[in-house]
Amino acid sequence: MSKSKATKPLAQKISSSFSEKIRRPRQAPRSRAKTETEPAPPRDFLRLVTFNIEHGTPQAGWSDPDVGSLKLPWNDKELGVYWLTRGLAQLLGPRSLSARAAVAKKALEDTARIIRKLNPDVVCLQEVDKGQRRSGYIPQAEFLSEALGMPYWRMAAAWAGPAYTVHRRPLHAHITRENGYGLAMMSRWPVKSWHFKRLGKARPRLRWGRGTWTGFSKGLLAGLRSLPQAIAGVKLVFGQMRVLQAARVLTPFGTVAIGNIHLETHRGVAQSQLRRSWRSVFDLNHDNCVLVGDFNLREDTSTEALQLLDEAMLPEIHGLVASYPSEKAWIPLDQLLARGWTFAAEPRTIRMPISDHLAVIYDLKPAK
Question: For position 25, what pLDDT does the model report?
Answer: 43
Query: 113: Cβ–Cβ under 8 A, 6 or more apart, which residues?
Result: 147
User: What burial class does residue 341 get, using C-beta atoms within 10 Å of its C-beta: 0-12 exposed, 13-18 middle, 19+ buried?
Assistant: buried
Q: Is residue 227 part of a domain?
A: no
Residue 322 C-alpha from the chain's centroid: 16
> What percent of the chain is modeled with pLDDT above 90?
60
Query: 136: Cβ–Cβ under 8 A, 6 or more apart, which residues?
Result: 56, 94, 97, 100, 101, 102, 103, 104, 105
Q: Is residue 69 part of a domain?
A: no
Give the pLDDT confidence of 62-121 residue by residue, as tens digits.
766 554 444 444 444 454 554 455 555 555 444 456 788 889 999 999 999 999 999 999
Question: For position 368, what pLDDT does the model report?
Answer: 79
Instruction: Give the structural domain span for 344.
Output: 2-18+43-63+76-203+239-366
Give which of 291, 235, 241 is closest to 265, Cα–Cα. 241
CB contact at 8 A, 140 and 180: no
- Checking if the pLDDT of 201 tops 60, the result is yes
Q: Is residue 25 part of a domain?
A: no
Question: For position 101, what pLDDT does the model report?
Answer: 87
Q: Is residue 288 part of a domain?
A: yes
CATH of residue 128's domain is: 3.60.10.10
Q: Is residue 210 part of a domain?
A: no
> What percent of the chain is modeled with pLDDT above 70?
75
Q: Is residue 9 part of a domain?
A: yes
Q: Is residue 308 part of a domain?
A: yes
Tally of domains within the chain: 1
**Per-residue burial over 353-365, b = 16 or more CB atoms within 10 Å of its CB, e = otherwise:** bbbebbbbbbbbe
Q: Is residue 109 part of a domain?
A: yes
- Checking if the pLDDT of 27 tops 50, the result is no
Question: For position 222, what pLDDT does the model report?
Answer: 76
